Amino acid sequence: MSKPVVGIIMGSQSDLKIMREAAEILEELEILFEITIVSAHRTPERMVSYASSAKARGLKVIVAGAGGAAHLPGMVASLTSLPVIGVPIKSTNSIDGWDSVLSILQMPGGVPVATVALNGAKNAGILAAQIIGTANEVVATKLDTYKHNLRDKVEAQVKQWEQTGWKSDLTK
């Protein structure tokens, strides 16, 4: 892997506080990515050129975050055959976050966007890594280790409750 394989885009600089979590997990998994701002409403020509050149530039998957009238993930999905993972963001112009979720989730037939939870940028990064991992054993092995660590953490907690009781956690 010598070139970015994941493209992380967001509608505004104000989305970065959420979208950084996608970048951070990809860094942890040592997957090369590019990250930038592309606004469906404020820079529509940039969105078209970003999405339509993404595959030729070597990207394998795009993670797109937006809030409010969150058209970026769906519009990008309409312009490329790469898988697009949408991150709905509870932004300053969101009513309660449902607007962002539904704008990204309720795509018409033929143009899917894999939508994660509200503010779920970390899971979007993990899902992007899983897509990369289907054709990259090194990445797949790192993801196995990541998931084993999640399991081990819960199992360690279970053991601790068995030894000290669940109430020992209430004081933390």
103 near ligand RP5, rule: CB under 6 A: no
The interface with ligand RP5 within residues 132-161 (CB under 6 A) comprises none
Which of residues 3, 56, 81, 92 is near ligand RP5 by CB under 6 A? 92
Q: Under the criterion CB under 6 A, does residue 171 sit at the interface with ligand RP5?
A: no
Instruction: Count the site residues for ligand RP5 by CB under 6 A.
Output: 14
Round to whole Å and give the CA distance between 76 and 64.
8
CA distance 162 to 44: 57
Contact between 73 and ligand RP5 by CB under 6 A: the answer reads: no
Give the nearer residue to ligand RP5 in terms of CB position, either 44 or 112: 44
DSSP for residue 41: T
Are 72 and 38 within 8 A, CB to CB? yes
Q: What is the DSSP string of 106-157?
A: -PPTT---EE--TT-HHHHHHHHHHHHHTT-HHHHHHHHHHHHHHHHHHHHH
d(CA 44, CA 149): 41
CB of 150 to ligand RP5, least distance (A): 29
CB of 31 to ligand RP5, least distance (A): 23
Task: In angstroms, give the least distance from the CB of 172 to ligand RP5.
Answer: 34
Residue ranges in 29-48 that form contacts with ligand RP5 under rule CB under 6 A: 39, 41
| Residue 60 Cα distances to 155, 157, 165, 172, angstroms | 35, 37, 47, 43
Report if residue 68 touches ligand RP5, rule: CB under 6 A.
yes
CB of 33 to ligand RP5, least distance (A): 18
Binding site for ligand RP5 (CB under 6 A): 10-12, 14-15, 39, 41, 66-68, 89, 91-93
